[in-house]
Amino acid sequence: MIYVTKADGSKQLFDRNKVLNTCLRLRLSYEDAEKITEKIEKKVYDGIPTKKILQMIFRFASLYRKSLKYQIDLRESISLLRPKPDFEKFIGIVFETLGYEIKTNLIIPGRCIEHEIDVVAKKDDETLMIEVKHHTNPHKYTGLDTFLEVNSTLEDLKEGYNLGRHSYNFTKALVICNTKISEHAKRYAECKKINAIAWKYPQEKGLERIIEENKIYPITILKNIELEEAYKLGDIGIVTLKQLLEDPKNISSKANISLKRIQELQKEAELILTC
């Protein structure tokens, strides 16, 4: 029996299906995913860190998909975004892609106090109050306290709307985070009907699925990008690979990054988006 060591130091049995599913998420064929899984099964040892397994997956998978040579793990790449403004901007783009009209960084008066709201998203009769939660440690859980705060904020804002203090008739509260959610938080959210989009939650509709299905990859997924470069791009509102493919001269001038460097990053971004 072989145990793997997770990022938090805990141990769990090696599960080949997790390796296989990761390969499939990287858009490999089932046949190629199975070949890689078999290779990794032969190389794992008791106590191997999960990060090392992920590195092996990417190394082997890049033999089948060239673009994987130029990218890092999606979960890690999202954690490298700055919470503000990058991740909030990123989430705004996600919801625009899903057909919502959005407004960000609003101060809205409730019955009792004013609240800073990260994102307001509207589509048809739905008006969402969105709390954006970002962790630089991708393995840290988003806990109950976040949902308690969101619930109390929504209640105060609804009372404020009824008193005519603002014009947003919120239909739902939604928490979006780049990590998993604790079981305690899930129970409370389900009881209070607070929606959540997190890593692998809801099942089959988590943040990673939305990103992958719509190819809304963050610029930090590029293996060769320096964080300083990513932050300069973030400062001018560019946080996704699709945005990075816009006018290179304009991006170079605004971000104060050489045109040659922008074009290099664009080539790698295009490979990831098209392969």
Peptide bond into 202 cis (omega under 30): yes
Domains along the sequence of the chain with CATH: 3-64 (no CATH), 82-214 (3.40.1350.10), 218-274 (1.10.150)
pLDDT above 70 covers a percentage of the chain that reads 100
Tell me the per-residue pLDDT of 144-186, one tens digit each, with 9 for 90 and over: 999 999 999 999 999 999 999 999 999 999 999 999 999 999 9
The pLDDT, as a whole number, for residue 65 is 87
pLDDT band at 203 (very low <50, low <70, confident <90, very high): confident
The per-residue b/e assignment along 134-173, b for 16 or more CB within 10 angstroms, e otherwise, is bbeebeebbebebbeebbebbebbbebbeeeebebebeeb
Average model confidence (pLDDT) across the chain = 95
CA distance linking residue 50 with residue 68, whole number of Å = 19
Tell me the per-residue pLDDT of 109-124, one tens digit each, with 9 for 90 and over: 999 999 999 999 999 9
Q: 3-class secondary structure for the chain? A: CCEEECCCCCEEECCHHHHHHHHHHCCCCHHHHHHHHHHHHHHCCCCEEHHHHHHHHHHHHCCCCHHHHHECCHHHHHHCCCHHHHHHHHHHHHHHHCCCEEEEEEEEECCCCEEEEEEEEEECCEEEEEEEECCCCCCCCECHHHHHHHHHHHHHHHHHHHCCCCCCCCCEEEEEECCCECHHHHHHHHHHCCEEEECCECCCCCHHHHHHHHCCCEHHHECCCCHHHHHHHHHCCCCEHHHHCCCHHHHHHHHCCCHHHHHHHHHHHHHHHHC
Model pTM score: 0.87
Structure tokens at 37: 């899984």
Structure tokens at 76: 């890690």
The count of residues in the chain is 275
Does 275 have pLDDT greater than 80? Answer: no
